[in-house]
Structure 1
Amino acid sequence: MAVTLSDYTQSAKPGAYGGSLGYAQKTGISGFASGWVGVALDEYGNYQNPTEGRQGGPGAIAQSVALRGSGSGTVGYRWLAGTANLTTFGAKVGIDNRASKTPAPGYRYQVIVDARNDAGGVTSISVNRDTSGAGTAYSSLISVPNIYDAAKAQNFKQDSVPNYWQISFSGSTGDSYNIHEIGALRICAQSMLSPTAGVLGGFNIIDEAYARDKYDALRGHIYTKLVGTSFKLNVAALNSDKSDIESTYASGGDKSVKVELIDDSGASSCNVSAVSCSSCGKQVIATQTMTFKKMEQATDKGFKKSADFTLNKAYSRVIARATEGKTVACSTDAFSVRPLGAALVASANASPPSASSLPKIRAGEPFELEAKVASSDGYTGVLKLFSEKLTAQVSSQGDTVETGGLAGTLTPESLTVNAGPVSATYSEVGYAYLEPGTYRDDDFTSVDSENGDCVKESVSNTLSGGKFGCSIGNTTRLPVGRFIPYRFDTELTKGCPAGDFTYAKQAFPIRVSAKNFAGSVTQNYAGAFAKQVTLSDGNVTGLGEFNPKTILSSGFSLGATPALIAAGPTQPITTSFVFSSPPQPPTSVKLRATDTDGVTSQGYTEGETNIYSGRLWLGNAHGSELLPLPIPVEAQFWQAGGYWATNSLDNCTSFQISAVGLSNPTQNISLCKTQFSPSGTLTLSNGRASLRLTAPGSGNNGSVDLALNAGASASGKTCVSVSESNASAANLPHFLPNPAGRASFGVRKAPLIYRREIY
C-alpha cells in the first residue's frame, strides 16, 4: 500500500495498479494526480523496480519501504530512496506476516514531512517504524534531509511544496489479492483545513472550467466570479452511494433540475450537511431550471452545463443548490462574486510626466484621494495599501512616462470604498504611479483564495488558467502629482569658520537640500524635476547680493547640491557675497534659496555668516642692508566708524610666499640679491604676519617693490632662492586689487649714525 501527499487544489486520482501501488505511473496509465510524494509499504517488491513505465529504482525488493517523488501524468514519480528487504536487518521482520491467521505483525509506522524551511529550499522526509507495539520505540527506516537535494542526485527536479496537501491511501496487487488494515491512524500538522463542503447529496455543482470527470464531479470547486459578468456551472448527477457520476441519469425520461444560487454569508453555512442544505432559508439570489434530456443522455451522461448566470451585486460567499423532486443537494464548494474593481480618484491630477503641469503639491502636503465602486455592486469594503505596487517617474525623463524613480511613502494606509475623499500625502518629488493593486482588498474572496480558486494578490479581470484575480482594487494605473519639495534647507561653510566671518567676494561652499514636510531629502528632485534656484539674502539687508546668485537645475543630484566637503572628484558649489557699495561694516547675511516653483528656504533652516569688507595690507619697510628685513602683512576690515582696522579674528588667511612678486630693484639692489626666507606658507595670526627678506649685504643698498598676486593668476617674478622664478597665485581674489609695498635697504631711520646719552 502507499501513503500519498498531493496538491489539495486538485482532486485525488489514484495512479497505476500493481507495483505502482496506486501512486506511480505505468505504461499508458497516469500516476497519482498532482502527486508530491508517495511512501510505499511494499510487500511484493515492485515499487522500487524501474519496470512497467516506472522511472528509477534499484530493482525489485520485497518487504521494503520506499519513496517516489512528484509527477504528473506519465512523467515523473521517480524513485528517491528505499530500504533493503526488512527481513534482512534490524528486527528482521517484513511488512506482512503471510502465515498469520490474524492481522500481523501490527507494527507502527511514522511518515514525517517537515516543510517549515521550504522557503529556504529545504524540506525533509523520514519514515520510522516501531516494532515494540507500544509506539514509543521508533527506529529510522528512511531519512532524507532534503528532498530537493535527493531529487537532484537522481537527476530530476522535485516540485515545490503546495500551499496545502491532501493525504490519500491507496493499495493494489497484480494478479493476486491481499488485505492490509490501517489502525490507530493519527495525522498531525501545523494547520488543518476541511473542504468547504459537507455531506454530498444527489448532485454536485462545480465550475464550468472542469471537464466531465468522476473525481472533479465529487470534489470540484467553483471559482471566483465577477459582478455583471456571466458564467455557467456544471451540474453532476451522482449515483446512489455518491461515489461517481450517474451516467444513466435521464435515460428513462427528461429530468428538470432547479439550480439556485444562495447568499451563504454569515454564520451556519448551508452546505455543511444535507439537512442544512435542504432546510436553508437564506436569500436565493438567482434561479434557473435546466433539463437533462433523455435524447441527450448519451452525450450528457449525468453531467451538464447550465445556462448563463449573471449576478449584479458582490457576495463574499455563495453556494449553489440543485433540486430534482425530493432530491436536494448543495455544492461542496462555496465561491465569491467580487466587483470588477475600484476607481481611484486624486486631486493631485497633473498630467505626467511634465515638470510644469499643474496642480503642484508640496511633498508631504495633503491632497485628496478616494476609492469608488458602483453603489449598485453593494460592496463597501476597505482597500489596504500595498506600497510595493507603488512606482515613480524617473527624474531623468520628463517627456514620456517611465518608471524607475524612487517611490516615496504614500498615505493613507487604507481607503474605505465610497466613503468620499480623504487626506493623502506623498513624500517624494515628481509623479507617483499607483499601479494596479496598489490599494486592494485581499480578504473579501477568502473563501476562494484559501483554496486556490482565484489568483492571489491579483486584481485581474482576465481569466488565467480559468481563474480571475482574487483581489478588489484599482485595475488601472493612477498617476498622482506633480509633487514639488515642501521646502529647502541651506547650509554654508564660512570663509573663516574659526573667526565666524566671511570676507566680501570670498568664495565659500554652500549646499541646498530639497526636503519634504517631514524633513527628509526628496531624492527625485533632480533632472527634469529640479528647477533653477535663486540665492538671496534672507536678512534682506539690501547691501549686496550673492555671486553667483543662481544654481542651475543640473546642480542637483538625489535632491541636493554636492556636500560641503569635497568627495573625490565631486566639488561643492560655491558663491560669494558682494556689497553693492563697498566698503561696508560687518553685516550678517542668510543664504535663502527659492526655485521657479516657489519652493523656498524662508522660515526653515538657512545658513548664515557675517560678511566683512576686507583687504590685505603690505607695509613699507626699511632697514640696514646688513640685516634681514621684516615686512608687515595685515588683514584689515572696515569698521562701522568708517576706517580700516586689523581683523584680529583672522587666523585663517594663508598664502604661498612665492605669490609675492618682487620688481623694480633700485640703486645697488639687483633682483634676488635679497630673497624671502622662510619661503613656504604664510598664515596670519590674529590678523597679522611678517614676510622676511634676507640681508642683501654690504654695498647693496636700494629698494625693491613687493606685490601679492592675490587672484587666481599670477604675473612677475619672485625670489624664494638666489635665482628668480615665476611668481605663483595666492588664490585670494577677495583681496584684489593686489596689495603692494616697498622694502628699502641702506636707508637710515634717523639723521644720526650713532647716539649716546650720558646722564
Structure 2
Amino acid sequence: MAPAAGTEITLTTSPLVDSGSGSTYTFTGTETSTTFYLTETTATTSPHININVTDGTASEDASEDPALQFVNTALLFSSTTSQTSCENSATMTLRAIRTDDSTGACVARVTGDLAVDMAYACVDPTTCHGDKNDAVTIRALDTDGTTLLNSGSIADNPDDSVSDYISRTLRFDGSGVANFTASYSDAGEIALHAQLSLAASSPDPAITLSDSSESFVVAPESFKVESFKSDGTTALNNSGSSGAPSQVAGDAFQLKVVAQCSDGTVTKNYAWDTDISAVAPSSPDTGSGGTLGNVYFSSDDTKVYGDAGTTTSASASDFSDGVALLTNARYNEVGSVTFQANANNYRDDASADITGTTSGEAGRFIPDRFILSAPTLTNRSDLAPTIPADFTYMDEALELGFTLTAVNAQGETTQNYEGSYAKLDPTASGDLGIGARDPVGGADMTSRVDVGTSSGTWSGGTVTVSAEVALNKLGSPDGPYEGLLFGVIPSDGDGVTLDPSTLDLDVNGNSTNDHAEIGSTDILLGRLNVVDTTGHESLPLPVTLQAEYFDGSGFVTNDRDDASLYNSTYGELDNYTDNLPTTSGEPTLSGSGTLSDGTGSGMSLSAPGSGNTGSVDLEYCLETCTNGTGGAGLGYLQYDWDGDGSHDDNPTGTARFGIYTGSDRQIYIEEIY
C-alpha cells in the first residue's frame, strides 16, 4: 500500500557511512518504494552497518533489517527471477570483484577460466526430493553470454545446511563477470551458492570468496490430468457419444494431477493449491448447444456443485511426490469433457502462475437415473371426446403421457442428454417398458398390452412422452377389467432407468414394485350392434346402433359410451328380398351422430315407396366393408359374429319394409306411426 502523499522518510546508518546517511524522500501518494544509495570506502567489521528508516512515527521492521556489509573483495550473484522447471533460465552472472586501491571502484578480482564450487539449497520445501539429487544443471557460457562452454549438475542441500558442492568451470571476463544459466528439474523455491578459493598473490592473501543468490521460484511447466473410474485402473478416455467406458455423472471417479517439467518428467517437490476446471473441448460441443458442466470434489453423494463443503481445487496436502490422486472427483453433466489444472502465485510469487495443458476428452458421462413426472392417462385417445371417457374398449387406443428428466447422482438435470447422447428413444416402445396389472384378478396383463405409436424428443435433458397403448382381445370374451393399472419402467441403452425407490406398481406380482404407475381405467370388451328394425314402406325407417360390452356373463348395453361416432357413410346395404327395388327408389341410408348412453338413432333408411316391401341387410363397416370399401376406423368394436374365433366381423342388422299381416286368428293389429 502506498504511503499517503507528503509522507517524508529519513534514512540513517549506524555507524555513519561515507555518504548517503541522512537522506530523505517525500512520497507522492502513488509509490510503494524508493531507492537510496550509500557509499563506504572502508571494509566493515561485525556487526557492520545498521540501517534505520523512519517517518517520525513508524520505523522499519526489525525482521526485515539485515546488516549491510562492505568488503574489499566479493563474489556476487546477479538478481534472479522465477523460472520454469527443466528450462534454462535467462543468463545469470557470478561476479568476482575487489575494491580498486586508487579509485575505490569495483574492479575484477579474477579473469579467465576458474573452478567454482557450486551448490543449491532447497528453500521451500526446505528438503530436496530424494529422487531428485543434483537436480540443478549449470551451463557455463562464454563471455559473449551465449556460447556454451560446458554444463553439469551441482550439489543439492537442505536449506539449513549447505555443505555439499560440485566444482564447475566458469569463464570470468575482464570485468570479473562469469555468465551461466541454470535449470532445475524439480519445483519449489531454491537458492544458488558459490565458493571461489583464491591462492595468495602478493599483496593479496589466500581467500575463499562465497555468496548465495536470492531465492527464486521454479514452477512446473504444466500439469497432466488423467481420469479413471473409481477402480483406479479403467481410464475414462471415451470421447464419443456411445460405447465404453462410461461413468455416471455426479458419481465419484478419480482424477490424477501430475506436475511436470517441460520434458514430461514429474516435479516431485511440487505441492500447492491447484485449481481443476472443466474446459472445452467438450462433447456435445458448446458451440452446438451443448452445456459445459462443472468438476468438483466431494465425499458426499448428495452435495451438488457450489454447495458448502465442495471444492474445485486440489490442496497442497493432496500432492505426494508431485502427484495428486483425487478419488472423489465428480462431473455433473453428460457427454465428455476436458479437464485442466492451473495454479496461481506458486510459492507466493505473482510471476509464477502455472497454466496446465488440457487433458484428452474424458468420458463418457451418463445420467444416474430418470425422474418421472406429470403422468396422465387419456381414455379413448383417438376419439378425443369432448366428454372425457372413464373407460376404453379392448383393442382401442388409450394414451399414456409422462415427462422424463435425466439427472445426475445429485438430482441435477443433465442438460446434455439429448441428440446422440440420449440413449432412450421415446419412439421405441421397448425403451418405455410399459406394463399392466389387473388389481382385481391379480394378473400380470403386460403380454396383452399392444404399444402403438409413441413420440417425444429430448431437449435439455427432458422429454415429454406420449404413447398409445391398447389391451388386446382374446379369442373368447373376457373382462371387464375394472381399474386396470398401467405403468412404465423406461430404460436406455446404458441401463439408465428410474430410481427403484420411486416405483409404486408391482406388475408381476412378486411383492416388489417394478414399474411407475401412470394411471388406471376400466377396460371393456365391446362390440357394436345394428338393431333389427321394421316399418312401413311409405315412411323412413329409423336405424339404431347400440354399443355393448361383455359383463362377465353376456353382452349388455354400454350406457357409459357417450363418445363413439357414427355416420351413414359407413353403412352398406345388401341382400334385398321380395320386391324391394335395387335401382330407382331403392332405400338409402343417411344421418350421423354420437352415441348417447350407448345408443345412437340418428340414422334412417329412406322409404322405398308404396308396395315396395321386403327386407335388406345393413352392414355397418367398422373396418373394411365386405365389398371392400373403407370403414369407420372403429375396428375395436368388431366382434366374432361368425364364431370363427376372430373378432373381425362387422355388425349386420335387418331392416324390413311393409306391415306384417299377422296370424289369421288375430282380429286387429294397430301400427303406430
TM-score (norm. length: structure 1)? 0.50
1:637 is matched with 549
2:609 is matched with 698
- Cα separation, 1, equivalents of 2:544 and 2:176: 117
Deviation at 1:291, TM superposition (A): 5.5
- Asked if the contact 1:485–1:514 (Cα under 8 Å) also holds between the matched residues in 2, the reply is no
Deviation at 1:539, TM superposition (A): 2.9
**Are 1:537 and 2:467 matched, yes or no?**
no
2:397 is matched with 507
2:634 is matched with 732
Q: Describe the SS at the equivalent of 1:377.
A: coil
Query: Where does 1:550-561 land on structure 2 (aligned, <5 Å)?
Result: none
Deviations 1:13-68 (A, max 9, x none): xxxxxxxxxxxxxxxxxxxxxxxxxxxxxxxxxxxxxxxxxxxxxxxxxxxxxxxx
- Cα separation, 2, equivalents of 1:387 and 1:508: 46
- Cα separation, 2, equivalents of 1:740 and 1:573: 33
- Cα separation, 1, equivalents of 2:348 and 2:434: 63
Q: Describe the SS at the equivalent of 2:636.
A: helix
- Cα separation, 2, equivalents of 1:305 and 1:728: 98
1:234 is matched with 91
Percent same amino acid among aligned pairs?
17
2:670 is matched with 754
- Cα separation, 2, equivalents of 1:710 and 1:561: 39
Change (3 A) 1:293 1:523: closer
Deviation at 1:650, TM superposition (A): 3.0
2:468 is matched with 574
1:293 is matched with 171
Q: Describe the SS at the equivalent of 1:698.
A: coil
1:477 is matched with 360
Deviation at 1:356, TM superposition (A): 8.4
What is the aligned counterpart of 1:459 among 322, 339, 356? Answer: 356
- Cα separation, 2, equivalents of 1:368 and 1:683: 62
- Asked if the contact 1:494–1:501 (Cα under 8 Å) also holds between the matched residues in 2, the reply is no
- Cα separation, 2, equivalents of 1:423 and 1:594: 29
> How many residues align structurally?
477
Q: Describe the SS at the equivalent of 1:533.
A: helix
Match for 1:293: what amino acid? R
1:273 is matched with none
Match for 1:703: what amino acid? S
Change (3 A) 1:527 1:624: farther
What is the aligned counterpart of 2:655 among 743, 750, 754? Answer: 743
Match for 1:592: what amino acid? V
- Cα separation, 2, equivalents of 1:194 and 1:339: 36
Deviation at 1:731, TM superposition (A): 1.9
What is the aligned counterpart of 2:379 among 495, 511, 515? Answer: 495
Q: Describe the SS at the equivalent of 2:548.
A: strand
Deviations 1:501-541 (A, max 9, x none): 33221234446747335274775466587365373425372
Deviations 1:338-395 (A, max 9, x none): 775454432374774788866766555x34424365998244555544233472379x
1:306 is matched with 181
Deviations 1:231-252 (A, max 9, x none): 4452246899xxxxx9975675
Match for 1:432: what amino acid? S
- Asked if the contact 2:121–2:191 (Cα under 8 Å) also holds between the matched residues in 1, the reply is yes
Query: Where does 1:315-354 land on structure 2 (aligned, <5 Å)?
Result: 315=188, 317-318=189-190, 330-331=213-214, 334-337=217-220, 340-347=223-230, 349=234, 352=238
Deviations 1:543-572 (A, max 9, x none): 4525545999x98755999755xxxxxxx5
- Asked if the contact 1:546–1:575 (Cα under 8 Å) also holds between the matched residues in 2, the reply is no
Deviation at 1:575, TM superposition (A): 3.3
- Cα separation, 2, equivalents of 1:519 and 1:673: 71
2:557 is matched with 646
- Cα separation, 2, equivalents of 1:523 and 1:480: 13
Match for 1:591: what amino acid? G
Deviation at 1:677, TM superposition (A): 4.2
Deviations 1:584-639 (A, max 9, x none): 21241323345466555564444233232222233222223344433222333332
- Cα separation, 1, equivalents of 2:620 and 2:161: 100
Match for 1:222: what amino acid? S
Deviation at 1:729, TM superposition (A): 3.1
What is the aligned counterpart of 2:621 among 694, 709, 714? Answer: 709
Query: Where does 1:438-457 land on structure 2 (aligned, <5 Å)?
Result: 440-443=341-344, 445=346, 447=348, 450-451=350-351
1:377 is matched with 268
**Are 1:263 and 2:158 matched, yes or no?**
no
**Consecutive unaligned residues in structure 2, runs of 5 or more:** 1-24, 36-63, 69-74, 98-104, 127-157, 197-207, 260-265, 298-310, 382-387, 425-429, 504-515, 639-647
2:481 is matched with 586
- Asked if the contact 2:456–2:464 (Cα under 8 Å) also holds between the matched residues in 1, the reply is no
- Cα separation, 2, equivalents of 1:194 and 1:592: 78
- Cα separation, 2, equivalents of 1:670 and 1:561: 61
Match for 2:572: what amino acid? G
What is the aligned counterpart of 1:386 among 277, 287, 303? Answer: 277
- Cα separation, 2, equivalents of 1:259 and 1:249: 23
2:22 is matched with none
Deviation at 1:262, TM superposition (A): 5.1
- Cα separation, 2, equivalents of 1:377 and 1:186: 44
- Cα separation, 1, equivalents of 2:595 and 2:529: 12
- Cα separation, 2, equivalents of 1:194 and 1:693: 113
Change (3 A) 1:618 1:626: same
Deviations 1:703-729 (A, max 9, x none): 333333323x55659xxxxxxxxx643
For structure 1, which segment, 502-511 or 321-330, has the greater mean C-alpha deviation from structure 2 after superposition?
Answer: 321-330
- Cα separation, 2, equivalents of 1:185 and 1:502: 90
Deviation at 1:407, TM superposition (A): 5.6
- Cα separation, 1, equivalents of 2:555 and 2:457: 40
1:615 is matched with 527
Change (3 A) 1:290 1:411: same
Deviations 1:72-131 (A, max 9, x none): xxxxxxxxxxxxxxxxxxxxxxxxxxxxxxxxxxxxxxxxxxxxxxxxxxxxxxxxxxxx
Match for 1:729: what amino acid? G
- Cα separation, 1, equivalents of 2:279 and 2:182: 41
TM-score (norm. length: structure 2)? 0.55
Q: Describe the SS at the equivalent of 2:527.
A: strand
Match for 1:742: what amino acid? T
**Consecutive unaligned residues in structure 1, runs of 5 or more:** 1-181, 207-220, 241-245, 267-280, 395-402, 461-474, 565-571, 718-726
Change (3 A) 1:392 1:741: same
Match for 1:499: what amino acid? A
Change (3 A) 1:660 1:481: same
Change (3 A) 1:327 1:367: closer
Change (3 A) 1:599 1:339: closer
Deviation at 1:496, TM superposition (A): 3.0
Change (3 A) 1:642 1:385: farther
- Cα separation, 1, equivalents of 2:394 and 2:486: 14
- Cα separation, 1, equivalents of 2:211 and 2:461: 72
Deviations 1:134-188 (A, max 9, x none): xxxxxxxxxxxxxxxxxxxxxxxxxxxxxxxxxxxxxxxxxxxxxxxx9985549
Match for 2:634: what amino acid? L
- Cα separation, 2, equivalents of 1:669 and 1:380: 106
- Asked if the contact 2:486–2:517 (Cα under 8 Å) also holds between the matched residues in 1, the reply is yes
Structure 1 or 2: more strand by fraction: 2
